[in-house]
């Protein structure tokens, strides 16, 4: 059952939980963006080191910040387990999840606080994700995130989308001891969380004013390599989702419509057509790996059936 006890006096209102695996470089800028928050509620930051090859550098450990900063270490278990560990260490009445390579706009937490006060009947909130338009890969990320969020918006202000680069949930709706995320999901743990929310009959409230910027610091080749590995792990998570009987993936027709919409958006001077081709290249790699995973599973089942006969 969720922990319904009110937050004790003296505890921070928000707990910002960041799972880190060899991401110490980008994390410094993320922490700096939190330090620059204006009119923000009291918050703590919990960094969960998920078995990184190198320990947290001194510049992180000895960083003097205006908020409570805790670094929790665990053996490498995956991002879902790391986020659950952060939950167990948190004290705030609202948990906010983000990634090391994200930056909070200066008024992000104050905008989120206003949204929580305005929507007391909502238990979870999806923050507004943006890309860093200073380079091609960042513009591609801006194009992708903007289009996905637009496509997933619901008429009542909720969104059929969860991205834990910027996601908040009230403590009263979370079993902090049992965890919020399924540790079996090594990727797409946020999509699996969305499925659980749908089954509970709720969707996150979209907070347009709470902006979190996702910074892509890798090269295109490095991104494609990461996509290749991640897509295989995501395919395993979608097996769990399929067993739940909830459809969250877009149909091929919807994907084509979204690509056409992206093409039109990419025509603006601030994005550029090159960003569209980057998005298509990365999504093509993901789809190829997904199809390959399904084929391998079908062959494995066929061999098992033949052996049984």
Q: Is the model's pLDDT at 1 over the cut of 50?
A: no
3-state secondary structure at position 208: strand
For residue 290, what are its two tokens?
Answer: 């997904």
Q: Is the pLDDT of residue 165 over 80?
A: yes
278 closest CA partner among 221, 214, 217: 221
Helices and strands in the chain, H and E counts = 9, 8
Q: Would you say the C-alpha torsion 79, 22, 29, 140 has a positive or negative sign?
A: negative
Mean pLDDT score across all residues of the chain: 91
CATH topology of domain 14-217: Spore Coat Polysaccharide Biosynthesis Protein SpsA; Chain A (3.90.550)
Look up the pTM and report it.
0.91
Q: What is the pLDDT of residue 134?
A: 92
- CA–chain centroid gap for 149, Å, is 13
Q: Is 271 helix (H, G, I), strand (E, B) or coil?
A: coil
Question: Is the pLDDT higher at 309 or at 60?
Answer: 60
Mean pLDDT of 203-214: 98
Give residue 4's pLDDT band: very low, low, confident or very high (50, 70, 90). very low
Q: pLDDT digits over 102-136, tens only? A: 999 999 999 999 999 999 999 999 999 999 999 99
Tokens describing residue 23: 């991401």
**Bridge pairing between strands 14-20 and 94-99:** parallel
Q: What is the pLDDT of residue 124?
A: 97
- Residue 177: count of CB within 10 angstroms of its CB: 10
Stronger pLDDT, 260 or 295, i.e. the higher one: 260
User: Taking the mean position of all CA atoms in its chain, how far away is CA 207?
Assistant: 15
pLDDT, tens digit, for every residue of 52-77? 998 888 888 877 778 899 999 999 99
Structure tokens given for 186: 């090594």
Complete edge-to-edge strand list for the sheet that includes strand 102-104: 68-74, 43-50, 14-20, 94-99, 166-170, 124-131, 205-214, 102-104
CA distance 238 to 187: 10
Structural domain spans, the chain: 14-217
∠ CA 268-109-115, rounded to 5°: 85
Question: Which 3 state secondary structure label does DSSP give 1?
Answer: coil
What pLDDT, on a 0 to 100 scale, did the predictor assign at position 184?
94
How open is the CA angle 173-175-180, to the nearest 5 degrees? 90
* Rounded CA separation 280/144 (Å): 10
Q: What is the DSSP-derived secondary structure letter of residue 171?
A: G
Contact 215, 139 (CB under 8 A): no
Report the alpha-carbon distance of residue 155 to residue 209 in Å, rounded.
Answer: 18
């Amino acid at each position: 059952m969720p922990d319904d006890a009110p937050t004790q006096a003296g505890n921070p209102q928000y707990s910002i939980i960041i799972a880190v695996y060899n991401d110490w470089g980008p994390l410094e800028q993320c922490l700096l963006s939190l330090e620059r928050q204006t009119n923000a509620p009291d918050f703590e930051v919990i960094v969960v080191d998920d078995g990184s090859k190198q320990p947290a550098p001194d510049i992180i450990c000895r960083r003097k910040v205006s908020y409570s900063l805790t670094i929790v270490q665990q053996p490498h278990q995956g991002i879902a387990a790391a986020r659950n560990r952060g939950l167990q260490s948190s004290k705030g009445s609202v948990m906010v999840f983000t990634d090391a390579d994200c930056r909070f706009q200066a008024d992000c937490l104050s905008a989120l606080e206003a949204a929580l006060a305005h929507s007391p009947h909502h238990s979870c909130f999806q923050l507004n994700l943006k890309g860093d338009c200073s380079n091609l890969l960042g513009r591609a990320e801006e194009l992708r995130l903007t289009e996905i969020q637009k496509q997933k918006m619901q008429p009542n202000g909720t969104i059929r989308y969860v991205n834990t680069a910027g996601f908040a949930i009230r403590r009263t709706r979370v079993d902090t001891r049992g965890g919020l995320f399924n540790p079996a999901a090594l990727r797409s743990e946020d999509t699996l969380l969305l499925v659980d929310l749908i089954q509970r009959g709720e969707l996150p409230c979209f907070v347009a004013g709470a902006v979190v910027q996702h910074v892509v610091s890798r090269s295109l080749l490095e991104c494609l390599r990461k996509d290749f590995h991640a897509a295989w792990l995501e395919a395993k998570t979608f097996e769990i989702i399929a067993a739940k009987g909830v459809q969250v993936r877009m149909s091929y027709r919807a994907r084509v419509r979204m690509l056409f919409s992206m093409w039109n958006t990419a025509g603006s001077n601030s994005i550029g057509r090159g960003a569209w081709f980057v998005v298509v290249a990365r999504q093509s790699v993901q789809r190829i790996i997904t199809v390959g995973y399904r084929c391998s599973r079908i062959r494995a089942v066929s061999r098992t059936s033949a052996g049984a006969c």
